[in-house]
Amino acid sequence: MTIKELAQELEMSTTTVSRVLTGQGKKYRISEKTAQRVREVASKVDFAPNQIARNLRLQKTNTIGLIIPNISNPFFANLARTVEEGLRKRGKMVLLCDTKDDTSLEKEAIELLLARKVDGLLIAPIGEKWEHLKNNVDIPLVLIDRYFENNDFAYVTTDNYQGAYDATSFLIAKGHQNIACIQGLVNTSPNKNRIRGFIQALDDHDISQQDRFILGTDYSAENGYESTRSLLQKATRPTAIFALNNQIALGAMKAINEARLNIPEDISLISFDEQYYFELLSPPLSAVKQPMEGIGKTAVATLFDLLEGKKVTSSKLIPSLIERASVRNISKS
């Protein structure tokens, strides 16, 4: 049965029936008695509105595209969950794409989602190139976690500079000066800002250039493992390692364990990115905790503001430092 046929059955206008079935009865002052009759008859004849036709008429699909770099990374998996929950509460569904940190796959994902007529996009972009976003996306767009300098894309992220600065200052307060930093993708905004915070903390505490190491290529456990093996082979190995994400930290732990060294007795370790299992490790791992729930909720709220034609501002949320047993105080040694 079509809505027109249902309206004829009820001897009402299609507009009245449509407003009741879409929950807009009170808005248009349709009496509860009338609304109840519409619902009863619709239920009796097993009427279901044609959502596709309605979406085409209203020029919206109630779907949002979410593009992330790596779903196997717990950070992005948790981020996707938070975003999905926030959008579902607002009546939107998510179409999720994993780009595997590949710009060509990111471009394909954008084309696919635009072809699906999503109402908006949330994207954690790959690197420094953003022209394909500027030139091809003509719907509301919010960058999440990663962003670009010197453009007008709205974004929601962690204050990565502050988080790295606090973690490095924490290591220094524990007596560490020979500190290594294992970085992720060099050309991403989180990595650049974390490196900037790391270096600034060392500079502010007058730690010389020769007592700092920065190495690494991506956000993988393999990078953490290989980089740590390289650090442990140095004549003067670092007393502490700052891993710039959770996967790097796990790779570093593996390399340290294989070398039959102990954390934190032989070398201290701290991670940027808190994960629920960090407190279950032996020893429990110190970490910078990103405000995951806040990032997801703020990104969803920002996107909805854009969908409603409102002006928006970008957001940097403050992370927190969690101190656990993986960092040794060597100032007392």
Q: Indicate whether 250 belongs to any domain.
A: yes
Residues 175, 221: one domain?
yes
CB 216 within 8 A of CB 156: no
Please say whether the beta carbons of 155 and 143 come within 8 A: yes
Q: Taking 80 as the threshold, does the pLDDT of residue 211 lie above it?
A: no
Q: Please state which of the ranges 6-15, 67-76, 123-132 shows the lowest mean pLDDT.
A: 123-132
Other beta carbons within 10 angstroms of residue 263's beta carbon come to: 21
Predicted confidence at residue 253, as pLDDT, reads 98
Whole domain around residue 249: which residue ranges?
160-290
Cα gap 176→241, rounded to integer Å: 10
Tally of domains within the chain = 3
54 in a structural domain: no
Same domain, residue pair 34 and 182: no
Residues 69 and 45 in one domain: no
CATH number at residue 10: 1.10.260
Residue whose C-alpha is closest to residue 212's, from 242, 167, 235: 242
Looking at residue 25, its pLDDT comes to 85
Cis peptide before 283 (omega within 30 of 0): yes
Higher pLDDT, 111 or 333: 111
Q: Cα separations (Å) of 193 from 190, 202, 227?
A: 5, 14, 20
Question: What is the structure's pLDDT at 27?
Answer: 82
**Average pLDDT over the chain, rounded to whole?**
91
Q: Which residues lie closer than 8 Å to 115 by C-beta, 6 or more apart?
A: none
285 with 296, same domain: the answer is no
Closest alpha carbon to 268 in 290, 288, 253: 253
Check pLDDT > 80 for residue 206.
yes
| Confidence check: pLDDT of 137 > 90 | no
Report the distance separating Cα 78 and Cα 215, nearest Å: 27
pLDDT tops 90 at residue 286:
yes
300 in any annotated domain: yes
Using 50, 70 and 90 to split pLDDT, how confident is the model at 331? confident
Report if residue 324 sits inside a domain.
no
Mean pLDDT of 201-205: 95
The arithmetic mean of pLDDT across residues 135-152, rounded, is 89
Q: For residue 118, what pLDDT is reported?
A: 93
Is residue 35 within 8 A of residue 25, CB to CB? The reply is yes
Pair 164, 148 in one domain = no
Give all strands of the β-sheet with 240-243 in edge-to-edge order. Answer: 212-215, 179-182, 240-243, 268-272, 286-289, 320-322
pLDDT of residue 85: 94
216 with 282, same domain? yes
Does some domain include residue 330? no
The domain that holds 69 is classified in CATH as 3.40.50.2300
**What span, in angstroms and rounded, lies between the C-alpha atoms of 62 and 208?**
55
Residues 221 and 123 in one domain: no
Share of the chain above pLDDT 90, in %: 71
Q: Is residue 329 part of a domain?
A: no
Residues 199, 224, single domain; the answer is yes
In this model, does residue 13 exceed pLDDT 80?
yes
Per-residue pLDDT at 133 exceeds 90? no
